[in-house]
Amino acid sequence: MAINYEELMQAKSTGVEASWGDRETMLYALGIGFMRDPMDTRELQFAYENDLKAVPTMATVIGWGASSTMARSGINYLMVVHGEQRLTLHKPLPSAATVLIDERVIGAFDKGKDKGAVIVIEKVLRDKKSNDKLCTLVGTTFARGDGGFGGPKDGAPAPHTLPTRAPDLSHECDTRPDQAFIYALSGDRNPLHRDPNVAKMAGFPRPILHGLCTYGTACRAVISSVCKYDAQKITGFDVRFSSPVFPGETIVTEMWVDGSVVSFRSKVKERDVVVLNNGKCTLG
C-alpha cells in the first residue's frame, strides 16, 4: 500500500497516557551504558533509587508504541530507519511521572521513487497533574522503500552545521554485545536489533544497535564530559543518524563547545565510520 499524503498529514493522536517510575529510569540508564564501572559514584544518580535523576534522552522511549499515528501510513516497516531525532526539554525530565502524549505528523517529503520518503512526527509530553509541557520531540523517519507517492520534495528540517575546527573534546563509550537486548526492554522491541534472520532480511549482516541507543550513548558522553554529570543542564539534544552501530563496538563522540551549544558527532572506533552527525546539544 502506497503512502496517502493527504491522509498521512491528518494523522494524529491526543492525550495518550503513559507512566514511568524508578525501575524504568534505571533500566534506561543501564541500556545506554551507565554503571559499566559499579564503583563510579558519579553515575549512581542515574541507576540507583537514592536521589535518582533521569537521563534527558529517556524522553524518546516514554510511551513507546502507545500511539497509532503511523499505523495507517502505508510504509514498509522493514525498510524504515530513523533519520533524525530532536529533543527540547521545557523542564528537567522527572524520574517518575504520568504524562499525556500528543502526537502528529508535521511533514512528509517525497525524495523520489528509488530514493525513499521522509516523514516528520512531533510528539509533546505533558504532565498529567499540571498539564505543563515537559518536552517536545521531533523525529524523522526515512522510509527507504516508499518514495514516489507524490508529496513535496523540499522542506524537511535542515541539519545543524558542525564547526570546521578540530574538536575540543573526545569521549569514548563502549557498547556490550548484548546491548540491544538490554535497551529493547525500554520499549523498542523491533526484531531488527535482536533477530539475525530479520537483520539479514533488512540487508544487514547481523542485528544492529537501536539508533536511539546510540543517541542516548552520545548523551552519556556529553553528560560525562561537558556537563560533569549534571544532566539537568541539557535542554536540547538533536542529531542526524548516518550509519548503524553493531553491538559491542566503541562509540567515540567528538564535541565542540561554544557557550551554551555543544556540537557533536559520533564515530565507531573499530571501523572509523560516522554513525551520528550534525549533533547539537543545548545547555540551559
- Domain residue extents for the chain: 5-283
Q: Which of 107, 128, 145, 109 is nearest to 63 (CA)?
A: 128
C-alpha cell read off for 58: 529517556
Alpha helices in the chain (DSSP H): 5-9, 22-31, 44-47, 179-184, 196-201, 211-225
* Tens digit of each residue's pLDDT (9 = 90 or more) over 148-174: 787 788 877 889 999 999 999 999 999
Whether 193 is catalytic? yes
Domain 5-283 has CATH 3.30.70.330: no
Considering the candidates 31, 147, 211, 236, report the single residue annotated as catalytic.
Answer: 211
Residue 74 buriedness (CB in 10 A; 0-12 / 13-18 / 19+): middle
Q: What is the 3-state secondary structure (H, E, C) of 54-74?
A: CCHHHHHHCCCCCCCCCCCCC
Query: How much is the average pLDDT of 86-104?
Result: 97
Whether 211 is catalytic? yes
C-alpha cell read off for 70: 503511523
In this prediction, residue 101 has a pLDDT band, given cuts at 50, 70 and 90, of very high
- CA-to-CA separations, 226 to 20, 51, 162, 234, 236, in angstroms, rounded: 28, 22, 17, 10, 14
pLDDT above 60: residue 1 = no
What is the structure's pLDDT at 236?
98
Gyration radius (Cα) of the chain, Å: 18
Phi, psi of 44 (to 5 degrees): -55, -35
Considering the candidates 3, 32, 101, 208, report the single residue annotated as catalytic.
Answer: 208
d(CA 236, CA 47): 22
Asked if residues 140 and 119 have their Cβ atoms less than 8 Å apart, the reply is yes
Q: Per DSSP, what are the bridge partners of residue 283?
A: 234
Considering the candidates 83, 188, 236, 251, report the single residue annotated as catalytic.
Answer: 188
C-alpha cell read off for 136: 517536545
Phi, psi of 184 (to 5 degrees): -60, -25
Whether 82 is catalytic? no
Instruction: Assign 233 to helix, strand or coil.
Output: helix
Residues with Cβ within 8 Å of 30's Cβ and at least 6 positions away in sequence, in order, are 47, 182
d(CA 137, CA 160): 16
C-alpha cell read off for 207: 542485528
Whether 188 is catalytic? yes
Phi, psi of 143 (to 5 degrees): -90, 95
C-alpha cell read off for 73: 501510513
* Tens digit of each residue's pLDDT (9 = 90 or more) over 34-50: 999 999 999 999 999 99
Considering the candidates 82, 160, 171, 193, report the single residue annotated as catalytic.
Answer: 193
* Tens digit of each residue's pLDDT (9 = 90 or more) over 208-233: 999 999 999 999 999 999 999 999 99
